[in-house]
């Protein structure tokens, strides 16, 4: 009985220490494990895989540093996939504080594949307006993005001269940490028929599954697990893949804690009665 | 290069300062927390100036001609009126830009909700009951909607319909909570990975 009592009164800092060690040890030991690719991520992958070279993919950075660990590996994986297939990329975002993350990933991946700014990719940056912006660029990009992130007129870039609205965009990839994904589906998808898939944080992903079920999005990359699955498909291991063994160990620990916590609660309740 | 190293050390120091809250609240944590709020606010102000006010209002006002130029005065005046909230007797003027924003938001939102959410979701639920998944989905939708139908009291055997609805709602909460746990652990992995790779170069 003493064991259960002690367990019920366990200092939370002991639990934090155990979780901390469970995160650090698998990362340091670089433990690997097989990653099973889900249908939702595979569908997202095929949305890009089936595009011909020269197509234009628009990526929306709708997150900031607080969701970076989950969404940045997705962005890097999607960019690698696009550049590997010679697909042109337009980057923009609705979260002002997230745009520097997009710029960092874009410059890093573009250098890996020798892609040139203005010829193979462009960063339009951030504009306020949210839903009005989504509807507005369905009419004409230049009404909102006459110049890019670096204030260079977009008409000075060869591939941007022919881009006027969603008709020239083959696919939208929205990386979502909030409700912007809903707006993309409802404004750009439903109104203009823009094909898209979304990548989302674990917190946001459950809200996006109805869109997937209804066929409003072609695929869904959910959380770090989704990023690891996408990395597996493009055969480029990144932080998603590296984080998966740690994630599994910690999930196992949390399940054990939940079972022990409940067992302790019921044993002590029985004793009180 | 030197700036990258300095940046990494600052980021690592702030990460540890935030983590120190796990032991107990302390001045180091408070400092990092306030710094984060301040930097985010400052960053936001710079972005509004650099990507909103300057290119879309000031630069365009200088470069445009005719009606295209003068029409920019409307959003500029509406924006300035927002500040009237700070001037006691003129505070009511701030209602003009707010009503403008609410009107646009409602107009865009209602059409988007019907066209982009309600109708496609109803269409997505009208499924042939030929597979187990489709049957579960249709039962889940109907029983959950009935759970939120308050115009009729479900008594006797009909109350079991609501219990089925509750089970579906609980499963949904469980899935959301599971995903949330995964998300939070992912964030922890991200920060620990940063400390071990970028800062300490252990991995």
Query: Which one of B33, B137, B189, B202 makes the best mutation probe of the A interface by having the most chain A beta carbons within 10 Å?
Result: B189
Considering only CB atoms, B123 lies closest to which of A205, A214, A223, namely A214
**Residues A18-68: pLDDT tens digits?**
999 999 999 999 998 999 999 999 999 999 999 999 999 999 999 999 999
Residue B155: per-residue pLDDT: 81
Are A115 and A121 contacting, i.e. CB atoms less than 8 angstroms apart? Answer: yes
**Residues A153-203: pLDDT tens digits?**
999 999 999 999 999 999 999 999 999 999 999 999 999 999 999 999 999
Distance CA A221, CA A201 (A): 9
Q: Do A97 and B55 touch (CB under 8 A)?
A: no
Q: Do B190 and A239 touch (CB under 8 A)?
A: yes
Considering only CB atoms, A247 lies closest to which of B22, B48, B185, namely B185
Reduced to 3 states, what is the DSSP secondary structure of residue A171? Answer: strand
Question: How many beta-carbon contacts under 8 Å exist across A and B?
Answer: 145
Instruction: Show the tokens assigned to A143.
Output: 């009404």
Q: Do B44 and A97 touch (CB under 8 A)?
A: yes
Token pair 């960053």: residue: B43
Instruction: Show the tokens assigned to B112.
Output: 């988007």
Nearest residue of A to residue B54 by CA position?
A151
Distance CA A54, CA A57 (A): 9
Q: Do B124 and A213 touch (CB under 8 A)?
A: yes
Q: Do A96 and B115 touch (CB under 8 A)?
A: no
Average pLDDT over every residue of A204-222: 96
CA distance A251 to chain B (A): 8
Residues on chain B touching A250 (C-beta within 8 angstroms): 185, 188
Residue A1: per-residue pLDDT: 66
Instruction: Show the tokens assigned to A118.
Output: 């203005």
Considering only CB atoms, A239 lies closest to which of B117, B137, B193, namely B193
Q: Are strands A88-93 and A56-62 parallel, antiparallel or unpaired?
A: parallel
Reduced to 3 states, what is the DSSP secondary structure of residue A60? Answer: strand
Distance CA A74, CA A225 (A): 10
**Residues B83-120: pLDDT tens digits?**
999 998 899 999 999 999 999 999 999 999 999 999 99
Q: Do A243 and B104 touch (CB under 8 A)?
A: no
* Overall size of chain A counted in residues: 273
Angle at alpha carbon of residue A123, lines to A122 and A124, rounded to 5° = 115
pTM: 0.91
Considering only CB atoms, B116 lies closest to which of A190, A222, A239, namely A190
CA distance A61 to chain B (A): 15
Token pair 């409003």: residue: A216
Considering only CB atoms, B180 lies closest to which of A19, A146, A202, namely A202
Other Cβ atoms within 10 Å of A195 Cβ, number: 15
Residues on chain B touching A222 (C-beta within 8 angstroms): 179
Nearest residue of B to residue A135 by CA position?
B108
Q: Do B51 and A126 touch (CB under 8 A)?
A: yes
**Residues B9-45: pLDDT tens digits?**
999 999 999 999 999 999 999 999 999 999 989 988 9
Q: Do A243 and B186 touch (CB under 8 A)?
A: yes
Cα B29 to the center of its chain, rounded Å: 25
Q: Do A69 and B112 touch (CB under 8 A)?
A: no
Residue B33: per-residue pLDDT: 96
Q: Do B40 and A97 touch (CB under 8 A)?
A: yes
Question: Which CATH class name applies to A39-244?
Answer: alpha beta
Instruction: Show the tokens assigned to A264.
Output: 């302790």
Token pair 């983590």: residue: B19
Cα A247 to the center of its chain, rounded Å: 17
Distance CA B51, CA B57 (A): 10
Q: Do B108 and A247 touch (CB under 8 A)?
A: no
Distance CA A209, CA A206 (A): 6
Q: Do A210 and B124 touch (CB under 8 A)?
A: yes
Are A126 and A99 contacting, i.e. CB atoms less than 8 angstroms apart? Answer: yes
CA distance B107 to chain A (A): 10
Answer whether residue B82 shows pLDDT above 90: yes
Query: Mean pLDDT in chain A?
Result: 94
Q: Are strands A171-176 and A196-200 parallel, antiparallel or unpaired?
A: parallel
Other Cβ atoms within 10 Å of B36 Cβ, number: 15
Return the domain boundaries, chain A.
39-244
Residue B158: per-residue pLDDT: 81
CA distance B157 to chain A (A): 30
Residues on chain B touching A223 (C-beta within 8 angstroms): 179, 182-183, 186
What ipTM is given for this predicted complex? 0.90
Residue B29: per-residue pLDDT: 97
Considering only CB atoms, A69 lies closest to which of B121, B191, B202, namely B191
Token pair 């938001």: residue: B105
Residue A180: per-residue pLDDT: 96
Residue A41: per-residue pLDDT: 98
Other Cβ atoms within 10 Å of A98 Cβ, number: 25
Please, what is the end-to-end C-alpha distance for chain A in angstroms? 14
């Amino acid at each position: 009985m003493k064991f259960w009592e002690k367990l019920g009164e366990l200092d939370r800092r002991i639990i934090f220490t155990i979780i901390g060690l469970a995160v650090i040890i698998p990362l340091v030991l670089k433990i690997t494990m097989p990653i099973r690719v889900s249908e939702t991520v595979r569908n997202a992958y095929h949305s890009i895989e089936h595009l011909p070279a020269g197509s234009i993919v628009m990526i929306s950075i709708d997150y900031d540093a607080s969701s970076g660990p989950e969404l940045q590996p997705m962005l890097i994986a999607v960019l690698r996939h696009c550049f590997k297939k010679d697909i042109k990329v337009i980057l923009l975002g609705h979260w002002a504080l997230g745009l520097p993350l997009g710029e960092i990933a874009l410059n890093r991946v573009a250098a890996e594949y020798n892609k040139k700014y203005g010829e193979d990719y462009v960063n339009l940056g951030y504009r306020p307006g949210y839903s009005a912006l989504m509807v507005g660029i369905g009419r004409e990009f230049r009404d909102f993005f006459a110049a890019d992130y670096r204030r260079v007129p977009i008409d000075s870039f060869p591939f941007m001269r022919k881009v006027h609205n969603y008709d020239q965009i083959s696919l939208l990839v929205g990386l979502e940490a909030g409700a912007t994904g809903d707006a993309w589906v409802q404004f750009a998808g439903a109104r203009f028929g823009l094909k898209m898939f979304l990548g989302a944080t674990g917190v946001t992903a459950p809200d996006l599954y109805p869109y997937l079920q209804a066929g409003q999005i072609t695929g869904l990359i959910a959380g770090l697990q989704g990023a690891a699955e996408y990395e597996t498909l493009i055969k480029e291991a990144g932080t998603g893949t590296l984080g998966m063994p740690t994630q599994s160990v910690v999930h196992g620990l949390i399940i054990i804690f939940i079972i022990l916590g409940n067992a302790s609660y019921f044993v002590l309740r029985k004793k009180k009665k | 290069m030197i700036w990258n190293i300095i940046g990494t050390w600052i980021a690592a120091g702030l990460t540890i300062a935030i983590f120190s809250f796990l032991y107990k609240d302390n001045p180091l944590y408070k400092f990092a927390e306030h710094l984060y709020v301040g930097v985010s606010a400052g960053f936001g102000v710079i972005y509004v100036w650099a990507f909103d006010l300057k290119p879309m209002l000031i630069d365009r006002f200088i470069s445009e001609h005719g009606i295209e130029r003068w029409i920019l005065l409307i959003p500029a005046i509406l924006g300035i009126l927002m500040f009237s909230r700070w001037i006691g007797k003129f505070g009511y003027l701030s209602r003009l830009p707010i009503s403008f924003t609410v009107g646009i938001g409602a107009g865009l939102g209602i059409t988007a909700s019907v066209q982009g959410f309600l109708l496609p979701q109803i269409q997505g639920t009208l499924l042939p009951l030929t597979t187990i998944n489709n049957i579960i989905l249709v039962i889940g939708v109907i029983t959950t909607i009935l759970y939120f139908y308050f115009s009729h009291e479900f008594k006797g055997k009909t109350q079991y319909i609501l219990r089925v609805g509750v089970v579906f709602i609980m499963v949904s909460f469980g899935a959301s909570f599971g995903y949330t746990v995964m998300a939070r652990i992912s964030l922890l992995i991200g920060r620990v990975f940063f400390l071990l790779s970028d800062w300490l170069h252990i991995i």
